[in-house]
């Protein structure tokens, strides 16, 4: 016998003619309610992820078909994020200064600004390498102010044995210093290693969380052990 509650076209015709009683509504269980709530939460989370990755033009295109209040909220949020990023991205290059610029460019750099100052000498090859690394990092982290200066123009009679020297300032206060070749990891220092060191000092917002110098030390030891074994 055919189930009168079954969803079929024939049963729909019989219900329309009054032959069959109206279809009984399915009783909603507690599990059904939980399922609906979880599904709604998942949809909202997916919508949030999708919208957060959209540009302003894409959000504009959706305004006609989506909830305008939700879209307006996300649009305003994206505008605020872009404005904040643009405000922070003030720099992008390594500025050369002299002693007379020091106060204005370093200690008075402004609020919420990290300053990385490299004191160098043209006669020290390691200083040249540091300047090359800083040029790359300055482009990638334009919210940080990168500065270089010939050491003796800022500090008269500054000992060359202390070069290269890197000072890190935040809101005019020195937060970290790397003085000399040893503290900076030696003349084989890579840009990635310098990035990690500046990141640990909070001067840049790097994604490098593991010290690359450890991997280099392991590799150097492996080569040293291999060389020793070949001597036999």
DSSP H helices, 53-124, are 56-62, 68-88, 102
**Of 39-48, 102-111, 170-179, 210-219, minimum mean pLDDT range:** 39-48
How confident is the model at residue 67, as a pLDDT? 58
Phi-psi region of 94 (alpha: psi -120 to 50; beta: other; left: phi over 0): beta
Domains, the chain, ordered by start: 95-215 (3.40.30.10)
Vertex 199: Cα angle to 154 and 171 (nearest 5): 50
pTM score above 0.85: no
**Of 7-16, 42-51, 65-74, 168-177, minimum mean pLDDT range:** 42-51
pLDDT band at 200 (very low <50, low <70, confident <90, very high): very high
Q: How many angstroms separate the first and last alpha carbons of the chain? A: 93
pLDDT at position 141 over 70: yes
How confident is the model at residue 109, as a pLDDT? 86
């Amino acid at each position: 016998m055919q189930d009168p509650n079954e969803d079929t076209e024939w049963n729909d015709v019989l219900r329309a003619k009054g032959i069959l009683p109206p279809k009984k509504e399915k009783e909603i269980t507690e599990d059904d309610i939980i399922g609906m709530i979880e599904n709604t939460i998942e949809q909202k989370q997916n919508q949030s992820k999708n919208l957060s990755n959209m540009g302003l033009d894409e959000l504009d295109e959706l305004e006609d078909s989506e909830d305008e209040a939700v879209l307006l909220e996300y649009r305003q949020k994206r505008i605020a994020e872009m404005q904040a990023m643009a405000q922070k991205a003030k720099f992008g290059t390594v500025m050369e200064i002299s002693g007379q610029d020091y106060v204005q460019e370093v200690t008075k750099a402004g609020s919420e600004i990290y300053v990385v100052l490299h004191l160098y000498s043209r006669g020290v090859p390691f200083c040249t390498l540091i300047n090359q690394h800083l040029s790359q990092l300055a482009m990638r982290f334009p919210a940080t102010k990168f500065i270089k200066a010939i050491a003796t123009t800022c500090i008269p009679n500054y000992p060359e044995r202390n070069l290269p020297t890197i000072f890190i300032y935040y809101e005019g206060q020195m937060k970290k210093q790397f003085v000399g070749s040893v503290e900076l990891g030696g003349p084989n220092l890579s840009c990635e290693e310098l990035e990690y060191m500046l990141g640990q000092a909070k001067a840049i917002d790097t994604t490098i969380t593991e010290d690359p110098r450890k991997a280099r030390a392991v590799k150097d030891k492996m080569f040293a052990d291999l060389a020793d074994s070949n001597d036999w």
